[in-house]
Amino acid sequence: MTERELGLLDAEKLREDFEILSRTVRDGRPLVYLDSGATSQKPRQVLDAEREFYERHNAAVHRGAHQLAEEATDGYEAARATIAAFIGAQANEVVFTKNTTEAINLVAYAMSNSATAGEEHARFRIGPGDEVVVSEMEHHANLVPWQELCRRTGATLRWFSVTDEGRLDLANLDELVNERTKIVALAHQSNVLGTVNPVRTVIAKAHEFGALVLLDAAQSVPHMPVDVRELGADFLVFSGHKMLGPNGIGVLWGRPELLAAMPPFITGGSMIGVVYIDSATWADPPQRFEAGVPMAPQAVGLAAACDYLSAVGMENVRAYEHALTGYALKQVGALDGVRIIGPVDGEARGGTISFVVEDIHPHDVGQVLDDQGLAVRVGHHCAWPLHRRYNVVATTRASLYLYNTFADVDALVEGIKAAQRFFGTGPGA
């Protein structure tokens, strides 16, 4: 089977836009990039957009009255509108951060800051007796900030388990989400298991109790159509660099009435109303959360990435990756001595495939793959508690994106076999 048969997306053609994909590694091996879950590669169109901003329109946005400043501001705000539209949101609901991690911290700190902020921010207060709910499959970025919020405020952290099959365990949903719950922070798609979580169910339950829901969409927005109105969450966060965009930019989407009620996180220039030497008032969102000269060129680059993805069509991206993932699950899953950590069927899961190879440490698997030009990730993938849950120290992870091909999957399978041969394990050993 080749991707052509799908008739949806021509990966070979798209690859031409990614200069880096034609390079070689380790003594002339063609690069097979299977680490898009960590960070994606960027097409020429994105790099060009960013450079064009620097070479033609560069100025500090929202701060000048000259032509360059106007053009820069226009570019920045047009980018916000494009990115908002990409997730079905309004421009004023989109806050730029440096990455997903900052976006999550922003919400967590807004909650602790509300303790000393005015009454108008009372909605976000949290303290002893209140609960924050996460899951065992969270990336550290969606776990540690909530641990720290609990530490600062005296609130209690609780968590969903995951099943042996790699699914969110909703068995104790009714017990976990209750009248004490202030916020539920949950991965939309796991960066290890690939699992796409049944977030609507959790959101509905949380909203019964007036609890907020934040979705960590770092691994979903790049790979499937996401519409914030349809999902019904309160906050949604993602990073530019995982979706063909530049590094150094991330997004916090929030319901406008919630953003309006949130005290600021990082303070400084451009986020203020009036400033006196001993006190200040705040601008409206999104400015309230964007202190300092922002990453305007990166915003423009991310908007170009959204345009690129929209031109391909997010439905096509999803369908193509679904086919590719199904193929990979079958091929990798069929290998003797290989155990996939995560759902082995392609339903409600994305193209992230983590696995262990019997008797070979992931570092060693990764090394042998690297020697053959395959770039995978090894380790706990910033999800240490999840690995503990499956009694593994580390896994090897291959993560697919729209520029990967069925041939890449074949190369992965060959690579794993080579590792088994090298270490004298697996079939035939």
Ligand X SMILES: Cc1ncc(COP(=O)(O)O)c(C=O)c1O
Is 65 or 334 the residue whose CB approaches a copy of itself more closely? 65
Quote the DSSP letter at residue 250. Answer: E
**CB of 304: closest distance to other proteins in angstroms?**
22
**CB of 101: closest distance to other proteins in angstroms?**
16
Q: Which does 33 bind (CB under 5 to 8 A by kind): a copy of itself, ligand X, other proteins, none?
A: a copy of itself
**CB of 185: closest distance to ligand X in angstroms?**
10
The bridge status of strand 29-30 relative to strand 24-25 is: antiparallel
Interaction residues for a copy of itself, span 85-114 (CB under 8 A): 98-102, 104-105, 109, 113
Q: In the complex, which residues of this chain contact other proteins (CB under 8 A)? A: 62-65, 69-70, 73-74, 272-274, 283, 361-364, 367, 378-380, 384, 387, 393-394, 422-423
How far is it, in rounded angstroms, from Cα 401 to Cα 9? 12
CA 22, 23, 28, 32 torsion-angle sign = negative
Give how far the C-alpha of residue 163 lies from the chain's centroid of Cα atoms, to the nearest Å. 22
**Helix, strand, or coil (residue 357):** strand
* Per-residue contact flags (x/-) with ligand X for residues 121 to 150, judged by CB under 6 A: ------------------x-xx--------
DSSP 259-311: HHHPPPSS-STTSEEEEETTEEEEPPTTGGG--SS--HHHHHHHHHHHHHHHH
How far is it, in rounded angstroms, from Cα 417 to Cα 424? 10
Interaction residues for a copy of itself, span 65-84 (CB under 8 A): 65-69
Interaction residues for ligand X, span 221-280 (CB under 6 A): 239, 250, 269
DSSP 281-294: EEPPTTGGG--SS-
Is residue 40 a contact point for ligand X (CB under 6 A)?
A: no
Which backbone phi and psi does 159 adopt, to 5 degrees? -150, 150
Is 41 or 219 the residue whose CB approaches ligand X more closely? 219
Interaction residues for ligand X, span 364-383 (CB under 6 A): 382
**CB of 242: closest distance to ligand X in angstroms?**
6
Is 8 or 60 the residue whose CB approaches ligand X more closely? 60
Q: Which does 20 bind (CB under 5 to 8 A by kind): other proteins, a copy of itself, ligand X, none?
A: a copy of itself
Q: Are 329 and 371 in contact (CB under 8 A)?
A: no
Is 266 or 423 the residue whose CB approaches other proteins more closely? 423
Where does 295-392 have alpha helices with state H?
296-312, 314-333, 362-371, 384-389
Q: Are 141 and 281 in contact (CB under 8 A)?
A: no
Please name which of 313, 303, 307, 325 lies closest in space to residue 401, comparing C-alpha atoms: 325
Q: How far are the Cα atoms of 18, 234, 294, 300, 388 from residue 303, in angstroms, in the given order?
A: 17, 23, 15, 5, 38
- Residue numbers annotated as active site: 382
Q: How many CB atoms lie within 10 A of CB 229?
A: 11
Of 222-230, 262-270, 303-311, 328-336, the segment contacting a copy of itself by CB under 8 A is 262-270
Q: How far are the Cα atoms of 125, 148, 211, 346 from residue 116, in angstroms, in the given order?
A: 9, 17, 21, 47
Is residue 278 a contact point for a copy of itself (CB under 8 A)?
A: yes
* Per-residue contact flags (x/-) with ligand X for residues 79 to 118, judged by CB under 6 A: --------------------xxx-----------------
Interaction residues for a copy of itself, span 344-383 (CB under 8 A): 363, 366-367, 369-370, 374-379, 382
CA 275, 281, 284, 286 torsion-angle sign = positive
How far is it, in rounded angstroms, from Cα 408 to Cα 402? 12
Q: Which does 219 bind (CB under 5 to 8 A by kind): other proteins, ligand X, a copy of itself, none?
A: ligand X
Q: Which does 216 bind (CB under 5 to 8 A by kind): a copy of itself, ligand X, other proteins, none?
A: ligand X
Q: Which does 209 bind (CB under 5 to 8 A by kind): ligand X, other proteins, a copy of itself, none?
A: none
Q: Are 406 and 324 in contact (CB under 8 A)?
A: yes
Is residue 216 a contact point for ligand X (CB under 6 A)?
A: yes
Is 113 or 399 the residue whose CB approaches ligand X more closely? 399
Interaction residues for a copy of itself, span 12-41 (CB under 8 A): 19-20, 23, 25-26, 31, 33, 35, 38-39, 41
How far is it, in rounded angstroms, from Cα 53 to Cα 45? 12
Q: Are 70 and 290 in contact (CB under 8 A)?
A: no
Residues that bind ligand X (CB under 6 A): 99-101, 139, 141-142, 187, 191, 216, 218-219, 239, 250, 269, 292-293, 382
